[in-house]
Structure 1
Amino acid sequence: MNRSRLLGTAFAVVASIGLATAAQAEVESKDPIKLTLHDWTGQLVTTKIMGSVLQNAGYNVEYVQADYIAQFAGLKTGDLHVAMEMWETTGREAMDEATATGKVENLGETGMLAVEEWWYPSYMKELCPGLPNWEALNDCAEVFSTPETAPMGRYLGAPVTWGGFDDERVEALELDYEVVHAGTDAALFAELESAYQRKAPILLWVYAPHWAQIKYEGEWIEFPEYTAECYNDPSWGSNEDMAYDCGKPRGPIWKVAWAGVKDKWPGAHAAIKNFTISNDEMAGMIAQIDLEGRDLDAVVADWVKANEATWKGWIGQ
């Protein structure tokens, strides 16, 4: 997978705006389209932009807090309708399983390209000159250790609900590291901020699009390149007995929906398929929210106002 700020409204939130009667009459159903919200800023922005566009087209929108992977149970049954961000890096397996049932549909790419991997600040290369090669990690385990993990190195992973197979990767690559999962996205990057200010050792999960690459200098660890066989065939790679002896996949961020959306709300279905936004646009909005302290809904409203020609194209106006 805010991955930097938790919602003040932690559960289902119904969002509506004053819509003209004529606009309401044009939509195929007045039942709410349920869009899922997760626990990282970018996904909240993506979803709120899409929700605002659908509202402007006359649709009734409901935002529902849901787990990133477990949401597929609701998408299969139609209790949930749209998830705006499934990352190739961590969500591909769950997405493929769901779409194979025919109950969930892949609505295409968001326009954003995802990277999620182990990351370190540039100043750490002085203490571990073999970086970014993953094979240097064991030589520098004590450099990355803490009193709680010594002599093992410490890797600060993402919240466990994000997936990513970091615990399996450590075991498969025989890394002398303990994976410590951050409780929240905010905690993850608060620790990076603290370490960076002190030039203290830190090795952690960083993802893009995100503001971290704007604010900090650093690099991702270069693991053996991901292949599908690495995750599915233990005999592949350096460890012939275990899978996940490689890095995470990289690629698009996808949109998915309950398969019934195209029949019940065909106009909304088309608009969601048309949605696209760039990494740079998203990173800029995330930075406004997480670094400048701007209200998320205000940032979304500004984008919607400034990009009216773009989103009207999505809804065919």
Structure 2
Amino acid sequence: MTFARPAAAVLSTLLVATALSGTPASAAENDDPIRLTLHDWTGQLISTRIMGEVLKKAGYNIEYVQADYIAQFAGLKTGDLHVAMEIWETTGRDALDEATATGKVENLGDSGMFAIEEWWYPSYMKEVCPGLPDWKALKSEACAEAFGTAETLPKGRYLGAPVTWGGYDDERVEALDLPFEVVHAGTDAALFAELESAYQRKAPVLLWVYAPHWAPLKYDGEWVEFPAYEKACYEDPAWGSNPDMAYDCGKPRGPIWKVAWAGLKDQWPGAHKAISAFSIDNDEMGGLITKADLDGEPVEKVVATWIDENQDRWSAWIK
């Protein structure tokens, strides 16, 4: 036989449990799922799952949804998707500006991480391509051949990121008249597997490398120094060395932004506040990515360990 417990007793028990855990028993305004987008690079999976698991601690119903990096903005505008934890200034700014201008998407501020995405080469390649890191060194036939493969010779090969990441590398090659062929890696993992293989053999490689990431920490190398990015470079063909084409400069650098459906603040104000408070810097994220990509820990374990070791930090986000 069971007996109904008095409401006061239930509330007392709940408050005791909350005090012991250091987190709210439930701060969720409703049971509707908050949909966080997942993409195809390790750091984004980590930052998204950290935020999602923290929101679960506050009682929110969380769904993780695989989504294309740029195409996700369509879902964020309609409210079919709710939160994107990493929009990089380097590649996502155009899509972010267009989406926020509609009033249907909100920028929740920077994540604490600073983005660099650019052409990168191992330092040993400077021996066969004198003049690096200046981009003009890549214009020489000798340098192009030094970076070439059987499939691209006499042109050099530049290994770009998956096409869905954007970045305008094909346009950059054409605008700067570089004797290179852009070959896009199929996945983030394939991109860095090729770097690992080439580096071990001291083989030619020129590829897209980004930070925060373990690669520029593990390997000795440099980013190519293109003409510094200005907004006009992407918008005005008259800007820069090629008067007829845009994108004759390097990629922008800047914050990694947190973005949400504009209705988030009304439907889940507590979650809106927590996501706005989320912050992790490059060094910390680089270490977490290293655990997953180099040490072989599942992303879920990396996140669970971070949650266990940083309770004071994330508890303040959901306070």
Report the TM-score, using the length of structure 2 for normalisation: 0.91
* Aligned-partner Cα distance in 2 for 1:275–1:231: 31
Q: Any gaps of 5 or more consecutive residues in structure 1?
A: 1-18
Paired residues for 1:192-211 under 5 Å: 192-211=195-214
Q: How much has 1:193 moved relative to structure 2?
A: 0.7
For 1:179-222, what per-residue CA distance to the aligned partner results, in whole angstroms no more than 9, with x for missing partners?
A: 00001111111111111011011100000000101210000000
1:284 maps to 2:287: yes
SS at match of 1:62: strand
Q: Which amino acid aligns with 1:189?
A: F
Determine the structure 1 residue equivalent to 2:146.
143
Paired residues for 1:1-317 under 5 Å: 23-24=25-26, 26-139=27-140, 140-316=143-319
* Aligned-partner Cα distance in 1 for 2:224–2:69: 25
Q: How much has 1:27 moved relative to structure 2?
A: 1.7
Q: Which amino acid aligns with 2:25?
A: A
SS at match of 2:145: coil
* Aligned-partner Cα distance in 2 for 1:301–1:183: 29
Q: Any gaps of 5 or more consecutive residues in structure 2?
A: 1-17
SS at match of 1:89: helix
* Aligned-partner Cα distance in 1 for 2:291–2:59: 29
* Aligned-partner Cα distance in 2 for 1:138–1:174: 7
SS at match of 2:213: coil
Higher helix share: 2
SS at match of 1:90: helix
* Aligned-partner Cα distance in 1 for 2:126–2:182: 21
Q: Which amino acid aligns with 2:269?
A: P
Aligned length: 296
Deviation beyond 6 Å, 4+ runs, structure 1: none
Q: Which amino acid aligns with 2:203?
A: A
SS at match of 1:75: helix
* Aligned-partner Cα distance in 2 for 1:40–1:74: 20
Q: Which amino acid aligns with 2:218?
A: K
* Aligned-partner Cα distance in 2 for 1:94–1:295: 31
